[in-house]
Amino acid sequence: MDDQYQPAKVEREAREHWDANATFQAPEDPSREKFYCLSMFPYPSGRLHMGHVRNYTIGDVITRFERMRGRNVLQPMGWDAFGLPAENAAMANGVPPAQWTYDNIAYMKDQLRALGFALDWSRELATCHPEYYRWNQWLFLRMLEQGIAYKKSGVVNWDPVDQTVLANEQVIDGRGWRTGAVVEKREIPMYYLAITRYADELLEALDDLPGWPPQVKTMQANWIGKSHGVRFAFPYELDGEPGKLWVFTTRADTIMGVTFCAVAAEHPLAERAARDDPELAAFIDECKRGGVAEADLATIEKKGMPTGLQVTHPLTGEPVDVWVGNYVLMGYGDGAVMAVPAHDERDFEFALKYGLPIRQVIDVPGETFSDTEWRPWYADKERGVCVNSGKYDGLAYVEAVDAIAADLAAQGLGEKRVQYRLRDWGVSRQRYWGCPIPIVHCESCGDVPVPDDQLPVVLPEDCVPDGHGNPLARREDFIATSCPSCGGPARRETDTMDTFVDSSWYYARYCCRDNDAAMTDARVDYWMPVDQYVGGIEHAILHLLYSRFWTRVMRDTGLVKCDEPFTNLLTQGMVVAETYYREEAGKKTFFNPADVEVRRDDKGKVTGAVARADGQPVVVGGIEKMSKSKNNGVDPQALVERYGADTVRLFTMFAAPPEQSLEWSDSGVEGASRFLKRLWTLASAWREAVAELNGGDAPAPADEGDAQPLRHEIHGVLQQALNDYGRYQFNTVVSACMKLLNLLGGLEPAGPPWHARVVHEGLAILLRLLAPVAPHVTHHLWRELGYGDEILEAGLPEVDPAALERDEIELVVQVNGKLRSQIRVPADSGRDAIEAAARGDANVRRFTEGKEVRKVIVVPGRLVNLVVVDAA
């Protein structure tokens, strides 16, 4: 055994051992309890970043822990390989996205291997492989047959200079990121998936996911946004024709307070009115400027303009003005809303701004109404009662809605309706590097699905995007084809699918990725659902909701048997680090933490920082998510080379619990490295003694000298660590390992023989506890000390209940809830004995003297609280 811990050597040998034995290839074995552990697959961006390292370390610790528990564990890995960054890289370097992507995959795969993850590489997949994405296309065709996939128009960001569609990310302050041109909203035909058909099921089933974080379920429920309301119409007559302006409201009880209606800029009424009104036409054009992202639309200044048109209030018969509002969206409901300024805050502000009437129709007794200042009770449907509402006066929310809905229904002008905020999923992208949508356009037959036997529609891999539209649209060899229906000349669809499609079902394909005849097979039924899914909180809604939807479509198509893809979900926090910069002429130049030296005062508090290069000060800019733009990323590669994978994994698990954000600290890594060195040194010092004990019969637990209190502590720490493993709180597992090492560090190889027996037992516990976190060094030491060949098969250490027993326990004594003393009592003391001991304690007496003890609270095993008052 080397005297010095040499991580590179230890880790290489361990990996060679695992590779040679195919240790992590997971067979389908119905006789064993399976555990499918999955981390969100990476986008092959070039190099691993710390977020990847953290994500995959968490997944790996769970994988190895569950395996040591005896389960048949599968942990696969693959590549979310289609996407925008590959096109951007292509524009920057002139390299085809395919080549850039494959190069990145090769590089990042080596990086993943160097971290020692227990991955079954035989199942590796990449979504840009035709063998994978053909099944996107195949299931898309099934969805077309079922009517789940359909075509309608949708709104996109249009860059008028580059003549191209932009992603929301590429729109900065309403302008194209490359051209700086003001972006326009443009309507184009797109394919949609009817996720709303499953809205109710996706919502209801959240209750059956106890293994998901409650906040994720809340976010999904709010996203689906089920609401009960009334859809009704304002009749009108225009150009001699009768029409109806349909709106939806959850506050039908306020309908008598409607003083105007607002429609979206794209609404037919708005467009009709703009024909005769150049000023309105200009306003509508203004509304169409800017991007389509909801966050932007929701924060813009609310603007409007009257159309000059009027509709009729369905209950009062009064005329109601119709306005165009830039905050009304054509994509939501009917693209029109009723406005009740008195009882909706947004309408209230709009009415004040444009001098529109405000009519109070809800009252709360004891409150006074002001038509110049908004008060929250105006929208209170719990306490509100109808007023100024004719026959509805005096009705509360529920009764008023019922009565009004009934009256509207009687006229054929409305009905109660359940509405969802969730919209159908638009999957068409006007982009090259994605899965082709399997449709052929024929002049005589229209849009024709590609027959199954002609799948996959293969994406040519040699295109280089240039920022001007989709290069696929210029590839005649791809586009020109014949119509599957009539055989005549036809053209292929050049839109590709949203990359969320690729990631909506990869977890199922890992189970059967070599099947080229079917999307899934019986192996999927063995492994699915995923038992533990691990990934970033930023995917809490979209990716996870799409996956839940896709699983249900697969279920209804007979492809899987489960309803939900992920039984348990762990959402890990971000990796963040300090930022440093200098500012010149309003432009910030960021310095990497590695190039900065931090200055501290004599208490260790940070007072400033200087650049290593020139010794001149830099600004300490605050903690931010690691990113290229802030230049605060720490390269995992360099750390692994310097300290070894075990140290990086150990620090990553120790610095914060998985769900919290993790602040990077170089000196913290040093600390982790120090711990492993100390472990090595201790194992090295005891190697002979422990190996000798391992060579004979299992030694009895030591009980001489101070062995008993020591074993009591060791098993107490073990109990806590096993519990923390069970709740996936790995930072305190690591801290338990550190405590164990500290305990064993007090023993001497030259000391009495029981020392060796405690170390033998303690190391057997410590190494197995640490094995999931630091697999290489524990693998090595386990063998070196003669415990066995394979620590992964050694099972988890078990708590010895006898070691935890105590004759005496310590209790805290409080007086009026304040800590005053501690007492030792026999473990089996009754309430009376404990109370007597507490009252008799000298320091307690100082606080009870001359007072009356009103009440004594005894919390078994914890504390005694004496409640005293001044004697009367």
Interface stretch with RNA, choices 242-250, 476-484, 608-616, 674-682 (CB under 7 A): 674-682
| Interaction of residue 431 with RNA, rule CB under 7 A | yes
| Interaction of residue 428 with RNA, rule CB under 7 A | yes
Tell which one of 587, 613, 855, 871 touches RNA (CB under 7 A).
855
| Interaction of residue 739 with RNA, rule CB under 7 A | yes
Tell which one of 391, 561, 612, 862 touches RNA (CB under 7 A).
862
| Interaction of residue 678 with RNA, rule CB under 7 A | yes
Q: Which is nearer to RNA, 701 or 716 (CB)?
A: 716
| Interaction of residue 99 with RNA, rule CB under 7 A | no
DSSP SS3 for 524: helix
Q: Give the shortest CB-3-to-RNA separation in angstroms.
A: 12
Q: How far apart are CA 526 and CA 513, in angstroms?
A: 14
Measuring CA to CA, which residue among 311, 361, 358 is closest to residue 336? 311
Tell which one of 485, 637, 735, 848 touches RNA (CB under 7 A).
735
Q: Give the shortest CB-136-to-RNA separation in angstroms.
A: 15
Q: Which is nearer to RNA, 431 or 513 (CB)?
A: 431
The answer to whether the CB of 345 falls within 8 A of the CB of 319 is no
Backbone angles phi, psi at 465, to 5 degrees: -65, 150
Q: How far apart are CA 770 and CA 734, in angstroms?
A: 7
Tell which one of 379, 542, 562, 619 touches RNA (CB under 7 A).
542
Interface stretch with RNA, choices 5-13, 312-320, 579-587, 716-724 (CB under 7 A): 716-724
| Interaction of residue 293 with RNA, rule CB under 7 A | yes
Alpha helix (H) ranges present in 703-807? 707-726, 730-744, 753-770, 775-784, 801-804
Tell which one of 654, 680, 725, 728 touches RNA (CB under 7 A).
654
H-run or E-run covering 164: strand 164-166
Two tokens, residue 227: 């609401």
In the range 203-232, which residues lie near RNA by CB under 7 A?
214-215, 218-219, 222-223
Interface stretch with RNA, choices 561-569, 721-729, 751-759, 788-796 (CB under 7 A): 721-729
DSSP SS3 for 368: coil
Site string for RNA, 100-139 (x = CB under 7 A): ----------------------------------------
Measuring CA to CA, which residue among 116, 34, 14, 120 is closest to residue 791? 14
Q: Which is nearer to RNA, 212 or 527 (CB)?
A: 212
DSSP SS3 for 722: helix
The answer to whether the CB of 844 falls within 8 A of the CB of 827 is no
Q: Give the shortest CB-507-to-RNA separation in angstroms.
A: 15
Tell which one of 62, 89, 149, 156 touches RNA (CB under 7 A).
156
HEC profile of 172-237: ECCEECCCCCECEEEEEEEEEECHHHHHHHHHHHHHHCCECCHHHHHHHHHHHCEEEEEEEEEEEE
In the range 477-536, which residues lie near RNA by CB under 7 A?
498-500, 503, 536
Backbone angles phi, psi at 611, to 5 degrees: -75, 135
Measuring CA to CA, which residue among 804, 796, 726, 729 is closest to residue 766? 796
| Interaction of residue 684 with RNA, rule CB under 7 A | no
Backbone angles phi, psi at 453, to 5 degrees: -75, -5
| Interaction of residue 352 with RNA, rule CB under 7 A | no
CA atoms within 13 Å, Cβ hemisphere of 45: 13
| Interaction of residue 248 with RNA, rule CB under 7 A | no
| Interaction of residue 712 with RNA, rule CB under 7 A | no
DSSP SS3 for 420: strand
In the range 408-427, which residues lie near RNA by CB under 7 A?
421-423, 425-426
Site string for RNA, 361-380 (x = CB under 7 A): --------------------
| Interaction of residue 657 with RNA, rule CB under 7 A | yes
Q: Which is nearer to RNA, 14 or 209 (CB)?
A: 209
Cis omega (within 30 of 0) for bond into 456: yes
Interface stretch with RNA, choices 227-235, 334-342, 731-739, 797-805 (CB under 7 A): 731-739
| Interaction of residue 472 with RNA, rule CB under 7 A | no
| Interaction of residue 302 with RNA, rule CB under 7 A | no
| Interaction of residue 872 with RNA, rule CB under 7 A | no
| Interaction of residue 629 with RNA, rule CB under 7 A | no
Under rule CB under 7 A, how many of the chain's residues touch RNA? 105
Tell which one of 30, 522, 587, 605 touches RNA (CB under 7 A).
605
Q: Which is nearer to RNA, 169 or 285 (CB)?
A: 169
Cis omega (within 30 of 0) for bond into 484: no
| Interaction of residue 84 with RNA, rule CB under 7 A | yes
Q: How far apart are CA 591 and CA 394, in angstroms?
A: 66
Interface stretch with RNA, choices 6-14, 149-157, 782-790, 791-799 (CB under 7 A): 149-157
Q: Which is nearer to RNA, 477 or 807 (CB)?
A: 807
| Interaction of residue 840 with RNA, rule CB under 7 A | no
| Interaction of residue 819 with RNA, rule CB under 7 A | yes
Helix axes 666-695, 645-654, angle to 10 degrees: 110
Two tokens, residue 232: 């009704």
CA atoms within 13 Å, Cβ hemisphere of 783: 14
| Interaction of residue 670 with RNA, rule CB under 7 A | yes
| Interaction of residue 572 with RNA, rule CB under 7 A | no
Q: Which is nearer to RNA, 523 or 625 (CB)?
A: 625
In the range 29-68, which residues lie near RNA by CB under 7 A?
43
In the range 768-787, which residues lie near RNA by CB under 7 A?
none
The answer to whether the CB of 302 falls within 8 A of the CB of 354 is no
Q: How far apart are CA 674 and CA 677, in angstroms?
A: 5
In the range 317-336, which residues lie near RNA by CB under 7 A?
none
In the range 162-181, which residues lie near RNA by CB under 7 A?
165-169
DSSP of 631-665: T----HHHHHHHH-HHHHHHHHHHSS-TTS-EE--
From residue 433, give the alpha-carbon distance in Å to each of 96, 332, 341, 498. Answer: 9, 30, 48, 10
CA atoms within 13 Å, Cβ hemisphere of 311: 30
From residue 829, give the alpha-carbon distance in Å to each of 811, 825, 851, 855, 867. Answer: 11, 7, 26, 19, 21
From residue 693, give the alpha-carbon distance in Å to each of 72, 755, 761. Answer: 31, 12, 10
Interface stretch with RNA, choices 5-13, 306-314, 448-456, 667-675 (CB under 7 A): 667-675
Q: Which is nearer to RNA, 105 or 559 (CB)?
A: 105
Q: Which is nearer to RNA, 499 or 504 (CB)?
A: 499
Q: Give the shortest CB-528-to-RNA separation in angstroms.
A: 22
Q: Is 484 exposed, middle or buried (0-12, 13-18, 19+ CB in 10 A)?
A: middle
Q: Which is nearer to RNA, 26 or 337 (CB)?
A: 337
Length of the chain: 872
Tell which one of 306, 671, 701, 749 touches RNA (CB under 7 A).
671
| Interaction of residue 827 with RNA, rule CB under 7 A | no
Q: Give the shortest CB-481-to-RNA separation in angstroms.
A: 23
Q: Give the shortest CB-100-to-RNA separation in angstroms.
A: 13
Residue 745 is classified by DSSP as T
Scanning the structure block, which residue is given the tokens 């405000």? 358
Q: Which is nearer to RNA, 73 or 679 (CB)?
A: 679
| Interaction of residue 153 with RNA, rule CB under 7 A | no
| Interaction of residue 569 with RNA, rule CB under 7 A | no
Tell which one of 262, 265, 570, 574 touches RNA (CB under 7 A).
574
Residues 122-142 as b/e (b if ≥16 CB within 10 A, e otherwise) read ebbbbbbeeebbbbbbbbbbb
